[in-house]
Structure 1
Amino acid sequence: MSEPGIAVTGLGLVSPHGRDPALAFDALLRGESAIHAVFPELPKPALAATAAFDPSPWFSKLQLAGVDRVSQLALAAAELALADAGLQDPWSEAQGERIGVYVGCGMGGASALEAAYRGGASGRVPPLTIPAFMPNAPASHIAMRRKVLGPVLTYSVACASSAIAIAEAAKAIRSGEVDMAIAGGSEALIVPGVVMAWQAMQTLASAPPGEAATAVRPFAADRSGFALGEGAAFLILESEQRAADRGARSHARLSGWGSSCDASHLTKPEAAGQARALRAALRMAGLAPQDVGYCNAHGTATRIGDPIECEALAQVWGDALPQLRVSSTKALHGHLLGAAGALEALITVMALQCRAVPPNMHGDEPDPACALNLVRKGDTAAPSLQAAISSSFAFGGTNAALVFQRA
């Protein structure tokens, strides 16, 4: 028997495919890649998916002092989610005490830190560097802007950060700690220093000149890694009863979540650990593997990571694996690290709402070790889709899975 579900009543997005969830989802269905070349001055060619973003609708020039891009993106996405949920009006102090903010952020204010390092040689480190780059700044800016007086928490769990944040928000609602949660993640790390650090790990995709858009090839035989992305995504979560009482539209219901730790290696994933998180999410949702029609996979297109994720799915789905449609949208929007789980959760919600699933792009020759039912471009309709799962597997060994069902 599954527990009462959590209603997703608002979606907010600032992404490489724009800030309108419907338009961004349509672009993904068409297989449009936002990955392009960046920083031509670096010793090695670099690729990334950046978000076109103007902070002026949300910040005055005076307010922007000491506010890193990661917080700007977060505040904008959270405000868009609140507006989508019909919660634009200020709330009372008593209501504010029953609201929480739960944010995933892996690296904090990378732009502020980069500026501090570059300015340090001349002794001109900006005085607001610390409050600008601290990882909890995005959550704090949302709380200050909206007078959220309940728990305001930040989760820094590498690539699982915002999936964990959404799960923790749902737990708080289910336990009665809060009535509503602003939950999601933000990441803005497209700066030279961070890109070079990831290049040193040899996990980033490469591509010949002019072929950046197709560089990321999840589950393909010729995959070479991921491209970094930036953006923010937020969900407004409420109990289904509260949503019904205020007449709110529900995009989907969050019915299960699970987390686990490999506890074996900082950077090498483990199928058994991932499988534990997937099983826990299904168990909480009260669903059997065959009840789930789509998986938005973690799918980083790394040589090591993709086959291990496939093995984890096979362990859980067993004979039902051929019926599970799978895609990694990182091929199109890049890897948002701390915000990846939130963006991909939003995409999973849109898949349920639209009854369509994004394609797994650029993998014309799948790796035989990745025997999955990968979604093909042009074959994205999913008229019978009722439940979907989103997976996030992190450096450090933390695994997270979120199960959503149609409202």
Structure 2
Amino acid sequence: MRDVVITGIGLVSSAGEGLEAHLNALSGGGAPHTDLATFEPFPVHPATALEWDRQIPKKSDQRQMEPWQKLGCYAAGLALNAAGAKEDAALKGRMQLIVSAGGGERDYAVDGQILTGLRNAENPGVFLNERLMGDLRPTLFLAQLSNLLAGNIAIVHGVTGASRTFMGEESSGVDALRIARERIASGQDDIFLVGGAYNAERPDVLLIYEMGGFLWKKPYAPVWNRPAEGGGMILGSGACFMVLESREHAASRGAKPLAAVAGIASDRSRRKPGSAEASLHRLAKQLEAKPDVVISGATGIKGITEDEQAALKDIAPGAPVHATGDLVGHTMEAQAPTGVALAAGLIAGRKASEALVTSVGHWRGEGAIRLTKA
């Protein structure tokens, strides 16, 4: 099995742009930038303002992308830059791509008209079918497909090797990284661009998660403090991409590794009290993890957050635990990649020699990633 290393990271969120800005925010502590007013009573962590032209030069490309696609495309460009691959067309031509992404954004005007009309419709089922067939244009639907982000990265940045898009909220981020690592380790492929993106500033996703009872509806509070007051997550807009490659491949092109990805494990437990805790114990044992720092993707949701806290006390006794939710908010598909990026940054900066990144999904899915010195 070959060693797998991270050679480039691109990261954007409410904490700023680039890995250095995020590491500074992590060491500085304090509350992340929070918007309490736009979607009241639901706080969100909005992404920092970006100069899109720096990574997406064509205005025509920018216009046809939704915010989550622009965030992802921008972060992908940063990662290619950091890995020294941005100007190497031949390398990008064989570089493979794995994206973790949700569904596209909706036409709020059409949704509003349909919901309003349903109240007084004589036959709601017939009314709904007629409006869906007449008002939702096929071109609009195509623009919302989750694999559009991968397509845009291929068009804008020229990454044209094999492409995969995973859906499935937090677990998709874990598995995007896992599949990339396993393919490199086994010798099937040499280099991948992998990551995810999320736009939290959307009424439709806030509605969906609130219907499930998952959202925090008070002013910002740290992730670990929320369960005592009922629990809930604060969504964040952001994106994270990174370049993964074999150690030999990185050396052959003179790329300096930030950290090694020693192992990735995922699980999908049937959630009941204690199941997330047991799952994390299994995953850490499988990875033989002995971390001196933990980057947790904890949501703040009651039950699973306390489960994770209990597990981490056993898995990493005495190690500092940082919650990505306290830095960037909960970025769903981008959550696990963001945790890995921060862990790699700490290892590269000699603040840690081994890190464990956890991902306990708000509804289903558990994951753990072990990083070591490169």
Give me the TM-score of the superposition, normalised by structure 2.
0.85
- Report deviation, 1:236: 0.5
Q: Which residue number corresponds to residue 317 of structure 2? A: 322
Which digits, 9 at most, give the CA deviation of each residue in 1:312-336, with x for residues without a partner? 3356x3xxx4233222131231100
Whole-angstrom CA distance in 2 between matches of 1:339 and 1:64: 21
Q: Which residue number corresponds to residue 209 of structure 2? A: 198
Q: Which residue number corresponds to residue 50 of structure 2? A: 53
Matches within 5 A, 1:2-401: 3-38=1-36, 40=38, 45-51=41-47, 52-57=49-54, 58-92=56-90, 95=91, 98-105=94-101, 107-110=102-105, 112-114=106-108, 117-118=111-112, 128-207=139-218, 212=219, 214-218=220-224, 222-223=228-229, 224-262=231-269, 264-265=270-271, 270-282=276-288, 289=289, 291-313=290-312, 317=315, 321-356=316-351, 385-395=352-362, 397-401=364-368
Asked if the contact 1:300/1:335 (under 8 Å) is kept, the reply is yes
Whole-angstrom CA distance in 1 between matches of 2:142 and 2:284: 36
Q: 1:309 to 1:388 in 2, by over 3 A?
A: same
Q: Secondary structure at the match of 1:185?
A: strand
Q: 1:304 to 1:244 in 2, by over 3 A?
A: same
Give me the TM-score of the superposition, normalised by structure 1.
0.79
Paired residue total: 354
Whole-angstrom CA distance in 1 between matches of 2:70 and 2:109: 17
CA-atom RMSD in angstroms: 2.7
Whole-angstrom CA distance in 1 between matches of 2:150 and 2:366: 22
Q: 1:220 to 1:148 in 2, by over 3 A?
A: closer
- Report deviation, 1:274: 2.8
Q: 1:266 to 1:49 in 2, by over 3 A?
A: farther
Whole-angstrom CA distance in 2 between matches of 1:280 and 1:128: 46
- Report deviation, 1:142: 1.2
Asked if the contact 1:69/1:109 (under 8 Å) is kept, the reply is no
Asked if the contact 2:301/2:362 (under 8 Å) is kept, the reply is no
Which digits, 9 at most, give the CA deviation of each residue in 1:75-96, with x for residues without a partner? 111111001111121423xx55
Q: Which residue number corresponds to residue 369 of structure 1? A: none
Asked if the contact 2:276/2:366 (under 8 Å) is kept, the reply is no
Q: Which residue number corresponds to residue 126 of structure 2? A: none
Identical amino acids, percent of aligned pairs? 24
Q: Secondary structure at the match of 1:403?
A: strand
Whole-angstrom CA distance in 1 between matches of 2:57 and 2:141: 20
Moved more, 120-129 or 337-346: 120-129
Which digits, 9 at most, give the CA deviation of each residue in 1:155-212, with x for residues without a partner? 11211222221111111212223221001111113211211222232222232xxxx3
Which digits, 9 at most, give the CA deviation of each residue in 1:130-153, with x for residues without a partner? 232211111221123334343211
Q: 1:221 to 1:266 in 2, by over 3 A?
A: closer
Asked if the contact 1:292/1:324 (under 8 Å) is kept, the reply is yes
Which digits, 9 at most, give the CA deviation of each residue in 1:188-242, with x for residues without a partner? 13211211222232222232xxxx3x42332566353220001110110110111
Compare the two structures and name the one with the higher helix fraction: 2
Q: 1:140 to 1:280 in 2, by over 3 A?
A: farther
Whole-angstrom CA distance in 1 between matches of 2:273 and 2:142: 29
